[in-house]
């Protein structure tokens, strides 16, 4: 070709320099399954072709062919090997590539609610608290920022953990690594810790050149491997690591599937690679959120094939808006999402839990409200205060699937805790703290005849009890009544006036009929109250 004769040593040097800098800075995955390598070849060819400003005319049609043929061939192969229209069944089954989807009973699989472990601090609040903590050290705050927070289970307690990262290039030059990380309790906004004794965070996304985390891993033997989801985690001793998902393409150039993790010691750069089965227990996640969401949506879309999804829409499902990381009674982490019909009518068909390590999938057929409706229901209970609801987390309360969320003011501070029944989102318990919200929610559950509680819950009736002592307390504009009865020792019963107006007129020695949850707690929630001396 005419233009090739015009290439000299300078052109060759320029081309190889371009290739070097493309690999060093763009870090394309050097594997034919990945699209980035073809983009790189296309750019190189394009530069080579026009480096001498070759004039293309009708007598040089073969130059068009050599330019367009590889590009056309690539897109033809891409469509044949990867397009959903030809491989809808493979996309449908990708979420089941490790295990078949299992239908399970909700109350037996999700850990019962534990007041000490309910998540009241979300990621945004954790960031605000972390930045406030960092701001207490003016010298440190001037050279580093707070990185991305991730939820983790550390020694059986939930924490948001984020690394301290460089403030910019010039700070990186002088910092010699950042001094540590910030740990924020997910259950107590007063528990914020700046950890500076576990070594410097040398390898991180905000570092440059050979200390940049992605580049360091890329040139450590993973140039041809798909790597994603760079997550900062700490082990049970608080030592900082980066956990990176390694993945492959399973359907032509698409169908991303996690195959293991690359674990990088953030302080010294030591790298260990694990497959899914041998991953250390302290690591909470291997499966990236975006992979799971896409695979679940493909599962919901292509049950009856591509043409049904595009034209008929029969039996088509999809995930609801958000996803959340939740923990089961075995300490394992799961991606949680609601499943709704394609019509998106605001109700769920059920819920999916996907193990974040081995991708075991559990499906619960529970019709109810979507997370968005639950958020609006909670906001509506305090609409005069203009609070904003956070994305809810799914919990098990008395065997009942329950959304638990926080209500925050305009400053992003938590003002209320809300518990919303999934099946009937009009059943809402709101309180200034967990105990108050739980007490109100339990009271509404126990008094609702249409809700079947966990068989382990024992309800007790006393039809002719005698009031021993009674008094009230005013909290956040609500009147709460506390009383004891002569028939039951060492128990204090609690209810608010919304359950029964008769309690306002009740006094010592009155005869009452009560219904309550029988438990070992000293404070008992009432689900029914009737003063027998008031008609």
Between CA 145 and CA 135 the distance in angstroms is 10
Is residue 429 assigned to a domain? yes
Q: Over the chain, what is the mean pLDDT? A: 87
- List the CATH number of the domain containing 468: 2.40.50.110
- Give residue 117's pLDDT: 80
Helices and strands per DSSP (H, E), number in the chain: 14, 27
pLDDT of 441 higher than 80: yes
Between CA 458 and CA 398 the distance in angstroms is 10
pLDDT of 179 higher than 80: yes
- For CA atoms 492, 432, 155, 183, give the dihedral sign: negative
3-state percent breakdown (helix, strand, coil) of the chain, nearest 5? 30, 35, 35
pLDDT of 20 higher than 90: no
* Structure tokens that stand for 189 in this block: 């906004």
* Structure tokens that stand for 2 in this block: 């005419």
Are 385 and 524 contained in the same domain? no
Q: How large is the average pLDDT for residues 485-495?
A: 90
Q: Which of 239-253, 302-316, 441-455, 496-510 has the highest mean pLDDT?
A: 239-253
Q: How large is the average pLDDT for residues 357-384?
A: 93
Is residue 433 assigned to a domain? yes
**525 or 401, greater pLDDT:** 401
Summarised one tens digit per residue, pLDDT across range 23-45 is 899 899 988 888 766 665 666 66
**Which of 390, 416, 446 is the last residue in one of the domains?**
446
Between CA 441 and CA 340 the distance in angstroms is 25
> Which range marks the domain in which residue 410 is found?
371-446
Are 164 and 268 contained in the same domain? yes
Strands 492-496 and 523-531: parallel
Beta bridge partners, 251, equal 254
Are 411 and 471 contained in the same domain? no
**Which of 419, 446, 473 is the last residue in one of the domains?**
446
Q: What is the pTM of this model?
A: 0.85
Between CA 207 and CA 93 the distance in angstroms is 39
Q: What are phi and psi of 25, to 5 degrees?
A: -95, -40
- Give residue 58's pLDDT: 45
Summarised one tens digit per residue, pLDDT across range 44-82 is 666 555 555 555 554 555 555 655 666 677 778 888 999
Are 159 and 261 contained in the same domain? yes
Between CA 167 and CA 177 the distance in angstroms is 11
Are 131 and 250 contained in the same domain? yes
Is residue 219 assigned to a domain? yes
Q: How large is the average pLDDT for residues 102-114?
A: 78
pLDDT of 346 higher than 50: yes
**128 or 494, greater pLDDT:** 128
Q: How large is the average pLDDT for residues 110-114?
A: 72
Are 28 and 151 contained in the same domain? no
**Which of 251, 266, 289 is the last residue in one of the domains?**
289
Are 199 and 235 contained in the same domain? yes
- Give residue 273's pLDDT: 98
Between CA 428 and CA 431 the distance in angstroms is 10
Closest alpha carbon to 122 in 327, 411, 405: 405
Q: How large is the average pLDDT for residues 417-434?
A: 93
pLDDT of 455 higher than 70: no
Closest alpha carbon to 24 in 225, 204, 214: 214
Are 146 and 36 contained in the same domain? no
Is residue 7 assigned to a domain? yes
3-state secondary structure of 434: helix
Q: How large is the average pLDDT for residues 184-200?
A: 95
Are 428 and 485 contained in the same domain? no
Are 143 and 24 contained in the same domain? no
Between CA 105 and CA 456 the distance in angstroms is 15
DSSP 484-496: EETTSSS-EEEEE
Is residue 160 assigned to a domain? yes
pLDDT of 358 higher than 70: yes
Strands 361-364 and 102-103: parallel
Is residue 168 assigned to a domain? yes
3-state secondary structure of 135: helix
The number of beta carbons lying within 10 Å of the beta carbon of residue 287 is 24
Is residue 172 assigned to a domain? yes
**443 or 289, greater pLDDT:** 289
Summarised one tens digit per residue, pLDDT across range 293-305 is 999 999 999 999 9
- Give residue 10's pLDDT: 64
Assign 163 a pLDDT band (cuts: 50, 70, 90).
very high
Could you give the angle at which helices 61-82 and 84-93 cross, rounded to 10 degrees?
30
Q: How large is the average pLDDT for residues 305-314?
A: 91
Task: Check if the beta carbon of residue 24 is closer than 8 Å to that of residue 209.
Answer: no
Strands 350-355 and 388-389: unpaired
Report how many domains make up the chain. 4
3-state secondary structure of 358: coil
Are 72 and 166 contained in the same domain? no
Is residue 348 assigned to a domain? no
Assign 3 a pLDDT band (cuts: 50, 70, 90).
very low
Q: How large is the average pLDDT for residues 405-423?
A: 94
DSSP 438-465: HHHHHHHHHT-TT----TT-EEEEEEEE
The number of beta carbons lying within 10 Å of the beta carbon of residue 408 is 18
- Give residue 344's pLDDT: 64
Residues across the chain: 535
**256 or 525, greater pLDDT:** 256
pLDDT of 520 higher than 70: yes
Summarised one tens digit per residue, pLDDT across range 456-484 is 566 788 999 999 999 988 876 677 899 99
DSSP 172-237: HHHHSSB--EEEEESS-TT-EEEE-SS--B-SBTT--GGGBHHHHHHTTT-TTSEEEEEEEEE-TT
The number of beta carbons lying within 10 Å of the beta carbon of residue 484 is 18
DSSP 298-322: HHHH-TT-HHIIIII-TT-EEE-S-
Are 379 and 477 contained in the same domain? no
């Amino acid at each position: 070709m005419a233009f090739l004769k015009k290439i000299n040593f300078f052109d060759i040097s320029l081309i190889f320099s371009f290739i070097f800098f493309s690999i060093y800075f763009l870090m394309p995955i050097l594997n034919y399954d990945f699209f980035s390598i073809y983009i790189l070849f296309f750019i190189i060819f394009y530069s080579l072709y026009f480096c001498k400003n070759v004039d293309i005319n009708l007598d040089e049609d073969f130059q068009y062919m050599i330019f367009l043929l590889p590009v056309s061939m690539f897109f033809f192969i891409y469509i044949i090997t990867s397009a959903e229209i030809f491989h809808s069944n493979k996309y449908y089954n990708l979420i089941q590539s490790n295990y078949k989807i299992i239908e399970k009973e909700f109350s037996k699989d999700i850990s019962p609610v534990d007041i000490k472990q309910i998540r009241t601090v979300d990621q945004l609040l954790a960031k605000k608290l972390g930045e406030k903590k960092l701001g207490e050290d003016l010298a440190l705050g001037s050279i580093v920022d707070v990185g991305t927070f991730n939820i983790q289970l550390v020694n059986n307690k939930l924490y948001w953990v984020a690394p301290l990262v460089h403030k910019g290039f010039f700070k990186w030059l002088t910092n010699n690594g950042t001094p540590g990380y910030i740990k924020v309790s997910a259950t107590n906004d007063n528990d914020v810790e700046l950890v500076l004794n576990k070594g410097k965070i040398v390898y991180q996304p905000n570092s440059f050149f050979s200390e940049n985390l992605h580049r360091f891993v890329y040139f450590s033997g993973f140039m041809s491997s798909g790597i994603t989801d760079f997550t900062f985690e700490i082990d049970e001793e608080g030592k900082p690591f980066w956990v990176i998902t390694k993945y492959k393409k399973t359907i032509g150039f698409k169908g991303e599937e996690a195959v293991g993790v690359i674990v990088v010691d953030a302080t010294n750069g030591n790298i260990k690679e694990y497959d899914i089965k041998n991953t250390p227990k302290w690591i909470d996640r291997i499966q990236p959120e975006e992979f799971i969401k896409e695979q679940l949506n493909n599962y919901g879309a292509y049950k009856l094939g591509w043409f049904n999804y595009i034209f008929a829409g029969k039996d088509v499902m999809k995930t609801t808006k958000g996803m959340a990381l939740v923990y089961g009674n075995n300490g394992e982490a799961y991606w949680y999402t609601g499943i709704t019909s394609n019509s998106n009518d605001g109700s769920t068909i059920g819920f999916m839990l996907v193990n974040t390590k081995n991708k075991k999938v559990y499906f619960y057929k529970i019709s109810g409200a979507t997370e968005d409706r639950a958020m609006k229901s909670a906001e509506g209970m305090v609409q005069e205060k203009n609070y904003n609801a956070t994305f809810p987390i799914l919990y098990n309360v008395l065997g009942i699937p329950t959304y638990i969320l926080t209500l925050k003011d305009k400053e992003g501070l938590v003002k209320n805790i809300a518990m919303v029944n999934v099946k009937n989102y009009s059943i809402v318990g709101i309180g200034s703290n967990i105990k108050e919200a739980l007490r109100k929610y339990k009271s509404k559950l126990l008094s609702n005849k249409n809700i079947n509680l966990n068989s382990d819950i024992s309800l007790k009736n006393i039809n002719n009890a005698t009031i021993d002592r009674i008094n009230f307390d005013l909290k956040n504009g609500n009147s709460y009544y506390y009383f004891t009865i002569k028939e039951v020792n060492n128990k204090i019963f609690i209810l608010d006036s919304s359950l029964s107006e008769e309690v306002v007129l009740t006094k010592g020695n009155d005869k009452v009929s009560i219904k309550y949850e029988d438990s070992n707690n000293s404070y008992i929630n009432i689900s029914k109250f009737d003063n027998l001396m008031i008609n």
